[in-house]
């Protein structure tokens, strides 16, 4: 009888642990990387923490011209440290500003794609490089 109780207890513990893992997976942020790629966000932005580096970053070192004062789009590896998904979505729709500037291009995807992309970008919380 004691073995049955121990076996039943272990089975219940395993069931509870797998149910917890399943709910944690369901709360996981959706993968916005395919949307980032689809809408060519990487043409301007890098997310080095995700292995996404735009062409300008890879060629900038070879053709560095310090006489130009053009503003470089930021690496988004730590965007989630400063902004929540709602703000990111509004910024990509040109409804919000960062440092007095609106996003260069309005997001043209579906509302569901925007929500997925913004939620994914909110998860980008890599350490910012020292200046």
Q: Which domain holds residue 21?
A: 1-29
Question: Which CATH number belongs to the domain containing residue 56 in this structure?
Answer: 1.10.760.10
Q: Rounded to an integer, what distance in angstroms lies between the CA atom of residue 78 and that of residue 125? A: 4
Same domain, 129 and 112: yes
**pLDDT (tens digit, 9 = 90+) per residue, 17-65?**
444 444 444 467 679 999 999 999 999 999 999 999 987 665 554 455 5
Query: What is the total count of domains within the chain?
Result: 2
Same domain, 6 and 39: no
pLDDT (0 to 100) of residue 129? 67
Burial classification of residue 33, based on how many CB atoms lie within 10 Å of its CB (0-12 exposed, 13-18 middle, 19 or more buried): middle
Same domain, 48 and 93: yes
Same domain, 24 and 75: no
Same domain, 43 and 25: no
Specify the pTM: 0.70
Which of 69, 116, 72 has the alpha carbon at shortest distance from 92? Answer: 116
Same domain, 85 and 128: yes
Q: Rounded to an integer, what distance in angstroms lies between the CA atom of residue 95 and that of residue 114? A: 14
Which of 111, 121, 102, 98 has the alpha carbon at shortest distance from 36? Answer: 121
């Amino acid at each position: 009888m004691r073995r049955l109780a121990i076996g039943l207890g272990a089975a219940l513990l395993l069931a509870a642990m797998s149910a917890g893992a399943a709910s944690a997976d369901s709360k996981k942020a959706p993968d916005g990387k395919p949307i980032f790629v689809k809408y060519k966000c990487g043409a301007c932005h890098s997310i080095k923490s995700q292995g996404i580096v735009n062409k300008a970053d890879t060629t900038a070192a070879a053709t560095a011209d310090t006489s130009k004062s053009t503003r470089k789009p930021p690496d988004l590896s730590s965007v989630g440290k400063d902004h929540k998904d709602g703000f990111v979505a509004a910024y990509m729709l040109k409804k919000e500003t960062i440092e007095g500037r609106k996003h260069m291009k309005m997001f043209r995807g579906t509302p569901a794609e925007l929500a997925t992309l913004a939620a994914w970008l909110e998860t980008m919380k890599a350490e910012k490089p020292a200046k």
